[in-house]
Amino acid sequence: MTSGHNNISMRDEIKAVTTELLIRNGYQGFRFKDVAELLGTTRANIHYYFGSKANLCEEVIVDYVSETTQKWTENWKSQKRFSEKIVGMMESNRQRYLQYNPTGKTAHPWSLIGRMRMEREVIGPQAQAALTNFGINLHNLIISGVEMAVKNKEYDKSIPKEDVVLQLVAIANSAGPITQDGGSFDRLEQLYLSFSHIIEDAYGLKKRSGR
């Protein structure tokens, strides 16, 4: 793959390949040599654009987390029902999964956030902060989603907000291993949807009213 074959810059191509290699090999297994071979360029060219492995990886991680946060913010701040927001969260995971498992029936690693959390101590400070802030932002987004659902009379006000957040964040944080253990996206989808059904059955006002 070279920049001549795509309408994106060499800099963006380097970042795209770096993302894939970090997911596959981790930070400590990442090498400029592998990026250069995949792009048909030289290590010197990669140094020209980013200077060092630390600079390149930090920019990739920060940008990836920012993009993911933006997508999930749009989902959780929308006017959709809470159950639909859970589906939106799930579909965001599916999109990432299919990027690295296009047949839908394989178990290749696909979550950069999950992978980098395993090596938090060796990545750069900006990348560490991005991962920390991602967790905080996700917690706050889901809390606001529950509050909106109560206000919109989707759920009874007795719904345990923190428990709902804890479970959804746990599913999201375990998304990569769940698909790898299951060999497909199916198990992760079941977990998201079953949790949605549980809180709908327990706290959904429409179900309680018989409508």
Q: Is the pLDDT of residue 44 over 90?
A: yes
- pLDDT tens digits for range 98-143: 999 999 988 899 999 999 999 999 999 999 999 999 999 999 999 9
Average pLDDT in the 8-35 region?
95
Are 43 and 74 part of one and the same domain?
no
Range of the domain at 123: 57-209
Q: Is the pLDDT of residue 159 over 90?
A: yes
CA atoms within 13 A on the CB side of 142: 24
Are 3 and 64 part of one and the same domain?
no
Are 87 and 132 part of one and the same domain?
yes
Phi and psi based region of residue 62 (left: phi greater than 0; alpha: psi -120 to 50; beta: remaining): alpha
CATH code: domain of residue 22: 1.10.10.60
CATH code: domain of residue 138: 1.10.357.10
Which runs of consecutive H residues, i.e. helices, occur in the chain?
10-25, 32-39, 43-50, 53-76, 82-100, 112-117, 125-151, 161-173, 175-182, 186-203, 205-209
Q: Is the pLDDT of residue 211 over 90?
A: no
For 2-16, 81-95, 167-181, which range has the lowest pLDDT when averaged over its residues? 2-16
Q: Is the pLDDT of residue 208 over 70?
A: no
- pTM, entire model: 0.89
Are 24 and 108 part of one and the same domain?
no
- CB–CB of 24/16 below 8 Å? no
